[in-house]
Amino acid sequence: MTRSSSVSLWSGILAGPIAFAINLQLRYALVRWACEHGSRSVLLWIAVPLVLICVAGAFLARTGLAIGENETAYPMRVRFMAYGGLMLSAIFAITILASMIPDLFLSPCD
């Protein structure tokens, strides 16, 4: 039987890395199209929903912490996963935002 805290904790841990991987792949896939059409905004707007996914992952990790400490006999595991999910979500959200910086100064063809 799967505990609800486990689903929240694993979602919190995996949301950030998955959002970053999607960000990286979409940027590589769309840079040629953005260069041909002269559209810098496409590359900028990719990051918005993916940062929101990272924020949702942090929220799920925090929710898993609140639920899990009361329902399990191993609160250290729950805390480790929750704080790890919070840190991973924050780090990958910052990384996704940092990947937008070149788009502000360079054209997609550079």
The tens digit of pLDDT for each residue in 71-94 reads 767 778 888 999 999 999 999 999
Cβ-based neighbour number of residue 74 at 10 Å = 10
Query: Coil, strand, or helix at residue 106?
Result: coil
**pTM, rounded to two decimals:** 0.88
Maximal CA-CA distance, the chain: 57
Structure tokens belonging to residue 18 = 């998955």
What does the pLDDT average to over 4-26?
A: 91
Highest mean pLDDT among 9-13, 22-26, 36-40: 22-26
Domain extents for the chain? 12-105
Above 60 in pLDDT, residue 43? yes
Instruction: Residue 40: name the closest of 27, 53, 52 by CA.
Output: 27
Q: Which residue has the tokens 């609160």?
A: 75
Above 70 in pLDDT, residue 1? no
pLDDT of residue 3: 67
